[in-house]
Amino acid sequence: MKHTKTHYSQTRETAHGEITIEGPLDAETLKNYEFHEQLTAFRPAKKQFEAIIGIAADFPEGRIIVARTADTIIGYVTYLHPDPLERWSTFNMEELMELGAIEVIPDYRGSGIASGLLKVSMMDDYMENYITISTEYYWHWDLDETRLSIWDYRKVMEKMMVAGGLTPAPTDDPEIISHPANCLMVRIGSKVSEASIQQFDKLRFLQRHEYRSMREGF
């Protein structure tokens, strides 16, 4: 796949002033901005900024969409092929993209920034060529900061993901089914082939497929 990227931008007013949501951004453009020190959900802010610059620079399929003030990134979302060590990379599907991280600093939460990041992500028509997934595990959720219960947080998360067209989908992935609050969120682009959809369905129920294959081998 060529992994064509078209830049889109949207502005919105918040209680803290105007915010620009834009992307996908290349590494050189990202380097023009500061990275807010409170973007620490995954690793220290400096290390996380280096990581998203690396995605933009080193991975042809990688997409970074940011929310920023004039010069400071206050939120972002990343898209990338699944990690080679993950179940979701089993078939090396070029058309499978994973929403790897989404984060907004506390001051801007509740302003629709996260859903805005997803909406701008999907403005690019090339996203219709992908199956986009997000694996949601309750132990990654910021329950302490939000003071929400697991189930209330999941409702908020689902509402946010729906803004990008992702909806819950069943799977037999052991980590996801280990707790009822965990879920797989999926968006299937309108240009994805039926063969790719069938392969993805097999991937979603990989344990069932492997068990059936094993029984047929006897």
Summarize pLDDT for 97-154 with one digit per residue, the tens. Answer: 999 999 999 999 989 999 999 999 999 999 999 999 999 999 888 887 778 899 999 9
50 pLDDT higher than 70: yes
Where in the chain are the domains? 8-216
Task: Write the single-letter amino acid at 102.
Answer: I
Closest among 123, 102, 116 to 20, alpha carbons compared: 116
Confidence of residue 214 (pLDDT cuts 50, 70, 90): very low
Separation of alpha carbons 131 and 1, rounded Å: 13
E strands of 151-206, at which residues? Answer: 167-169, 183-188
Name the DSSP letter for residue 141.
S
Count CB-CB contacts under 10 A for residue 218. 4
In DSSP terms, which residues pair with 96 in a beta bridge? 131
Q: What is the CATH topology of the domain spanning 8-216?
A: Aminopeptidase (3.40.630)
The two tokens of residue 34 are 């500061």
Separation of alpha carbons 140 and 120, rounded Å: 24
Long-range contacts made by residues 175-179, C-beta under 8 angstroms, separation at least 24?
Answer: 175/135, 175/137, 176/135, 176/137, 179/137, 179/138
Summarize pLDDT for 81-91 with one digit per residue, the tens. Answer: 999 999 999 99
Q: What is the pLDDT of residue 210?
A: 60
Average per-residue pLDDT for the chain: 93
Long-range contacts made by residues 81-87, C-beta under 8 angstroms, separation at least 24?
Answer: 82/133, 87/173, 87/203, 87/206
Give the CB-side neighbour count of residue 46, counting CA atoms within 13 A. Answer: 0
Separation of alpha carbons 136 and 112, rounded Å: 19
- Secondary-structure percent of the chain, ordered helix, strand, coil, rounded to 5: 40, 25, 35
User: Strand 167-169 vs strand 96-104: parallel, antiparallel, or unpaired?
Assistant: unpaired
C-alpha to C-alpha distances, 175 to 19, 86, 122, 186, 209, nearest whole angstrom = 36, 11, 27, 16, 17
Q: What is the pLDDT of residue 143?
A: 81
Q: What is the DSSP string of 97-140?
A: EEEEEEEE-GGGTTTTHHHHHHHHHTTSGGGGG-EEEEEE-GGG
